[in-house]
């Protein structure tokens, strides 16, 4: 009975993590500019990978794989957020601006449609 409960909990985490990873992939394809894409990728990747790893932890039980999965989770949480922050900062320093600002740094008018301008 306990094994079935652990399998159900594990599969809930695995399926929900896979859903968030797929949602992030769709966000990478659908969002109009670099900063919104990096935002979608970093959030859903962090959440999706974390949920998948937690699901794997339930599957592993109290074996040698559990501390390894915990270390992978900690590393992925630190590395993923740091990498997305570094990419965003490098993009800003190279001159790439978010979509909601003109090249002059002014906010667009409310009537003006937000479109991507290279």
Q: Indicate the domain borders of the chain.
A: 2-89
The average confidence (pLDDT) of the chain is 87
Residues 6+ apart with CB under 8 A from 87: 38
Long-range CB pairs of 22-27, under 8 A, 24+ apart, other chains included: 23/48, 24/48
Q: 19-73: per-residue pLDDT in tens?
A: 999 999 998 899 888 999 999 889 998 999 999 999 999 999 899 999 999 999 9
Q: Is the pLDDT of residue 116 over 70?
A: no
Residues 6+ apart with CB under 8 A from 71: none
Alpha-carbon gap, residue 26 to 12, rounded angstroms: 21
Q: Which residue has the higher pLDDT, 107 or 60?
A: 60
pLDDT at 109: 57
Q: Could you tell me the pTM of the whole model? A: 0.78
């Amino acid at each position: 009975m306990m094994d079935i409960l652990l399998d159900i909990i594990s599969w809930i985490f695995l399926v929900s993590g896979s859903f968030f990873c797929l949602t992030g992939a769709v966000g990478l394809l659908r969002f109009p500019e670099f900063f919104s894409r990096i935002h979608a990728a970093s959030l859903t990747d962090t959440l999706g990978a974390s949920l998948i790893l937690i699901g794997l932890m339930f599957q592993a039980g109290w074996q040698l794989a559990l501390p390894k999965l915990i270390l992978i989770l900690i590393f992925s949480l630190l590395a993923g957020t740091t990498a997305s922050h570094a990419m965003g900062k490098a993009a800003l320093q190279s001159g790439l601006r978010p979509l909601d600002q003109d090249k002059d740094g002014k906010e667009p008018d409310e009537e003006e449609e937000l479109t991507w301008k290279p």
